[in-house]
Amino acid sequence: MKRWLPFEWIAAIRFLLEGKLQSIFIIVGISIGVGVIVFMSAMLTGLQSNFIKRVLTSQAHIQILPPDQLARPQRHGPQEVEDPIIQRPSQRLVSIDQWQKIRRQLETMPEIAVVAPTAAGSALAKRGDASRAITLNGVEPENYFLVVRVPDYLVQGQARLLSDDILIGIDLAKDLGATVGDKLNVTTSSGGERILTIIGLLDFGNKGANSRSTFVSLRTAQSLLGMLGGVATIDLSLKDIYAAEDIAKNIQSSNDVIADSWIKTNAQFFTAIRAQNLTNMLIRVFVGLSVAFGIAAVLVVSVIQRSRDIGILRAMGTSRGQIMRLFLIQGGVLGFFGSLIGSALGGFALLYWHATARQADGTELFPLIIDYHLFLWTAVLASFTGLLAAMAPAVRAAKLDPVVAIRG
Amino acid sequence: MANSILTLTKINKVYNPGEPSEVAVLHDIDMEMKRGEFVAIMGPSGSGKSTLLNIIGLLDRPTSGSLTINGQDTGGLKDAEITHLRGHKIGFVFQYHYLISAFTALENVMMPMLVDHGFQTEQAEARANELIRRVGLTHVAHHRSNDMSGGQQQRVAIARGLAMNPDILLADEPTGNLDTESTKSIFELMREVNRTSGTSILLITHNHDLGRQCDRIIQVVDGRIVT
């Protein structure tokens, strides 16, 4: 017996060791439960981070737009409207009012990681006899490329935006018969015209985007679109992507702008993620419950088997509290060891699955994210579950009448 | 009275009072035991001997009457105080040894001290070793209780009963399951403990030979003391 261990711990561990088969069975049960939780959580985290990476590195987490332009009814006096039919006005390309001030304000918000103003509009790209309608995105590369990872999609050339540079999609390049180093004539409806040099080709994995999207420097776009010094949108990247909706509402309420979060613009995708998280949580809860009931069942039986021991311990002056702790500790110890083995099982299953499961193109199905927090939390939770599960048997043991217990 | 280790006054015990299954087990038991006395309780099965012993050992509470142990009235004591008193003043030896099979002989002897102290101490270890030696089991001190003979197990149980140096040792037919030889040696061990340590011993037995060797015999019949 160890000198530094309190009585309850010594007795709890001896009892568990003596009922070896029971202890082994329940630990195997707990391990399987914990293994499933660890495996599922880690795999889902990996899959989701993959999806999220795909969705969120190609768009802003929050996009700030100028408010819709509205026509207001002309009024003569109170209750008197000159012309009751209001047409929705055409939406001119206008700059966000006082965007510099809004930008400074956004940059001070701790939840926001990157603020990237952009000037975007439609234009016509001409080369020789061919011309194509394009979307001109004027950006500050040092900021914008952190919001949308344009360089990740680069297949040729370089991701650089000086005043005469333009990055175009590969399908647009094909249509215009152009490649890196060729010149394009870009004109806009506001009369802007400029010769730009193709500096790089992009492949977004989407034909629509590949034949329309282009990127130029912010100043170039501003002058081409006739919005000198103005920006059409401010794109934001956030530290916590799930807070996007709240932050967007917050921004919209304090400024005269529209703030669209990725959650709103990708509602379907977000619902899917939420459903996945909910399913994951439900599975965890129910696996946890079945583990808890397993522990409780084993301990209830153990209390009955040990009722004589309990009786004799009580006769020699063991308090009810000590007896209760003795059984609580057994539950906690079972949960803890089960979680250790289960974490190892889950970890191995994850490694194996990661090594064997491949996507159609041979790339990994999900990135291997082994977060030690997950294991730590699982161990803490499993021990706590064990404690909770041991509650009823422990109370029962503590309440045993020593006379009845000894009589058997 | 100062010389009494135990005083029972008008102790009654009724099981399931007020129900159809009501059984009165003890009737107005008056009893006194002097410090250092070795008393035998004898009587037929079902006469209430064990119930009486359980009440004296504070495992059970009487329905009415008062019980004074070592000058302390136990009537108004709370559960925790009862547990403490039981741990410090009273030692038990039962008919079945009731050693805890998960522990060795030595550890079983140490158990009451461990329970009391919370941790294992050097003194507890020394005392357990001394007790094991005294009951002549040094050679099996580290055996599990299941690997010992009935007589050896009962010796361990007596050593355990003495661990806290109790004022009174309560023995409920400790020799009931033993052969004549073991019975004799167990009784001699108790007699020796009684003489050398002055521990009062209350022994339930069916064995008239043993009864006669005690200082006094209390006969219990149908829940009443007859002699």
Test A7 with B110 for CB contact under 8 angstroms: no
Q: What does the pLDDT read at residue A51?
A: 75
Neighbouring C-beta atoms of residue A344, cutoff 10 Å: 15
What pLDDT digit, counting tens, does each position of A6-26 carry?
Answer: 888 988 888 889 888 888 998
Q: What does the pLDDT read at residue A359?
A: 67
- Tell me the nearest-neighbour CA distance from B169 into chain A, angstroms: 12
Probe site for chain A from B115, B122, B154 (most A CB atoms < 10 A): B115
The answer to whether residue A215 scores a pLDDT higher than 90 is: yes
Strands (DSSP E) found in A140-291: 154-157, 165-169, 183-187, 193-202, 213-217, 233-238, 258-261
Instruction: Name every residue in B having a CB less than 8 A away from some CB of A.
Output: 54, 57, 59-60, 79-80, 83-84, 86-88, 92, 94, 98, 100-103, 107, 110-112, 114-121, 160, 163-164
- Tell me the nearest-neighbour CA distance from B61 into chain A, angstroms: 10
- Tell me the nearest-neighbour CA distance from A344 into chain B, angstroms: 30
Q: What does the pLDDT read at residue A168?
A: 93
Buried b (16+ CB within 10 A) or exposed e, B42-72: bbeeebbbbbbbbbbbbbbebeebebbbbee
State what percent of residues in chain B have pLDDT above 90. 3
Which residues of chain A make contact with B59, given a CB cutoff of 8 A? 314-315, 402-403, 406
State what percent of residues in chain A have pLDDT above 70. 96
R_g over Cα of chain A: 33
Look up residue B160 and give its two tokens. 């355990």
Which residues of chain B make contact with A5, given a CB cutoff of 8 A? 119-120
CB hemisphere CA count around B153 (13 angstroms) = 20
The angle formed by the CA atoms of residues A286, A289 and A294, to the nearest 5 degrees, is: 130
Which residues of chain B make contact with A4, given a CB cutoff of 8 A? 119
What pLDDT digit, counting tens, does each position of A37-92 carry?
Answer: 888 888 888 887 777 777 777 788 899 998 888 877 777 777 776 666 777 888 77
| Residue ranges covered by each domain of chain B | 4-225
Write down the mean pLDDT value for chain A: 86
Test B54 with A313 for CB contact under 8 angstroms: no
Q: Which of A380, A361, A363 is nearest to A372 (CA)?
A: A380
Test B120 with A1 for CB contact under 8 angstroms: yes
Do B123 and B66 meet the contact criterion of CB atoms below 8 Å apart? no
Test B100 with A318 for CB contact under 8 angstroms: no
Do B52 and B215 meet the contact criterion of CB atoms below 8 Å apart? no
Test A322 with B115 for CB contact under 8 angstroms: yes
DSSP one-letter code for B140: G
DSSP one-letter code for B157: H
Q: What does the pLDDT read at residue B97?
A: 65
The chain A residue lying nearest B162, using CA atoms, is: A316
Q: What does the pLDDT average to over A336-350?
A: 89
- Tell me the nearest-neighbour CA distance from A330 into chain B, angstroms: 14
The answer to whether residue A214 scores a pLDDT higher than 90 is: yes
What pLDDT digit, counting tens, does each position of A91-125 carry?
Answer: 777 888 888 899 999 999 998 999 999 998 899 99
Give CA–CA dist B6/B56, Å, rounded: 8
State what percent of residues in chain A have pLDDT above 90. 26
Q: What does the pLDDT average to over B45-60?
A: 87
Q: Could you tell me which residues come within 8 angstroms of residue B19 by beta carbon, excluding any fewer than 6 positions away?
A: none
Test A6 with B112 for CB contact under 8 angstroms: no
- Tell me the nearest-neighbour CA distance from A380 into chain B, angstroms: 26
The answer to whether residue B100 scores a pLDDT higher than 60 is: yes
β-strand pairing of A62-65 with A233-238: antiparallel
β-strand pairing of A183-187 with A193-202: antiparallel
Q: Could you tell me which residues come within 8 angstroms of residue B107 by beta carbon, excluding any fewer than 6 positions away?
A: A1, B128
Q: Could you tell me which residues come within 8 angstroms of residue B92 by beta carbon, excluding any fewer than 6 positions away?
A: A312, A315, A316, B57, B161, B169, B170, B171, B172
The answer to whether residue B2 scores a pLDDT higher than 60 is: no
Test B98 with A312 for CB contact under 8 angstroms: yes
Residues A302-308: contacts with CB under 8 Å, at least 24 apart: A302/A15, A302/A19, A302/A22, A302/A327, A302/A330, A302/A393, A303/A327, A303/A393, A303/A396, A303/A397, A303/A400, A305/A19, A306/A15, A306/A397, A307/A400, A307/A404, A307/A405, A307/A408, A308/A405, A308/A406, A308/A408, A308/B98
Give CA–CA dist B188/B203, Å, rounded: 13
| Residue that has been written with the tokens 């004898």 in this structure | B42
Instruction: Place A204 in a pLDDT band, splitting at 50, 70 and 90.
Output: confident
Work out how many CB contacts closer than 8 A connect A with B: 80
The dihedral formed by the CA atoms of A233, A239, A244 and A250, expressed in degrees to the nearest 10: -80
Give CA–CA dist A334/B127, Å, rounded: 33
- Tell me the nearest-neighbour CA distance from A329 into chain B, angstroms: 15
H, E, C per residue of A112-158: EEEEEEEEEEEEEEEECCEEEEEEEEEECHHHHHHHCCHHHHEEEEC
CATH topology of domain B4-225: Rossmann fold (3.40.50)
Give CA–CA dist A16/A354, Å, rounded: 36
Do A136 and A221 meet the contact criterion of CB atoms below 8 Å apart? yes
Which residues of chain B make contact with A319, given a CB cutoff of 8 A? 80, 83
Q: Which of A262, A213, A271, A217 is nearest to A236 (CA)?
A: A262
Helix axes A7-18, A320-356, angle to 10 degrees: 60
Test B117 with A7 for CB contact under 8 angstroms: yes
Q: Which of B227, B224, B186 is nearest to B205 (CA)?
A: B186
The chain B residue lying nearest A308, using CA atoms, is: B98
Q: What does the pLDDT average to over A162-166?
A: 91
Q: Which residue in B92, B107, B118 is closest to A1 by CB distance? A: B107
The dihedral formed by the CA atoms of A96, A100, A102 and A104, expressed in degrees to the nearest 10: 160
Q: What does the pLDDT read at residue B1?
A: 47
Q: What does the pLDDT average to over B22-45?
A: 88
The chain B residue lying nearest A318, using CA atoms, is: B115
Q: What does the pLDDT read at residue A196?
A: 93
Q: What does the pLDDT read at residue B172?
A: 86
Test A311 with B101 for CB contact under 8 angstroms: no
Probe site for chain A from B61, B100, B146 (most A CB atoms < 10 A): B100
Q: Which residue in B110, B115, B119 is closest to A317 by CB distance? A: B115
Q: What does the pLDDT read at residue B49?
A: 86
Give CA–CA dist B156/B139, Å, rounded: 12
Test B107 with A317 for CB contact under 8 angstroms: no
- Tell me the nearest-neighbour CA distance from B133 into chain A, angstroms: 19
H or E stretch covering B13: strand B4-15
Percent helix, percent strand, percent coil in chain A, to nearest 5: 55, 20, 25
Test A10 with B110 for CB contact under 8 angstroms: no
β-strand pairing of A75-77 with A80-81: antiparallel
Q: Which of A148, A20, A4, A43 is nearest to A374 (CA)?
A: A43
First and final C-alpha spacing in chain A: 28
Q: What does the pLDDT read at residue A301?
A: 86
Q: What does the pLDDT average to over A195-214?
A: 90
Q: Which of B100, B163, B91, B167 is nearest to B129 (CA)?
A: B163
Q: What does the pLDDT read at residue A362?
A: 64
Test A313 with B94 for CB contact under 8 angstroms: no
What pLDDT digit, counting tens, does each position of A121-158 carry?
Answer: 899 999 988 899 999 999 999 999 988 888 888 898 98
ipTM for the whole complex: 0.83
Test B79 with A6 for CB contact under 8 angstroms: no
| Residue that has been written with the tokens 């130029």 in this structure | A216
R_g over Cα of chain B: 17
Q: Which of A214, A153, A218 is nearest to A185 (CA)?
A: A214
Instruction: Place A1 in a pLDDT band, splitting at 50, 70 and 90.
Output: low
Q: Where are the alpha helices (DSSP H) in A361-401?
A: 372-399
Q: Which residue in B59, B88, B164 is closest to A402 by CB distance? A: B59
Test A317 with B160 for CB contact under 8 angstroms: no
Q: Which of A179, A181, A182, A186 is nearest to A125 (CA)?
A: A186
Test A3 with B110 for CB contact under 8 angstroms: no
Probe site for chain B from A8, A9, A316, A320 (most B CB atoms < 10 A): A316
Give CA–CA dist A214/A118, Å, rounded: 12
Q: What does the pLDDT read at residue B226?
A: 83
> Structure pTM?
0.69
Q: Which residue in A4, A7, A309 is closest to B115 by CB distance? A: A7
| Residue that has been written with the tokens 């709103």 in this structure | A264
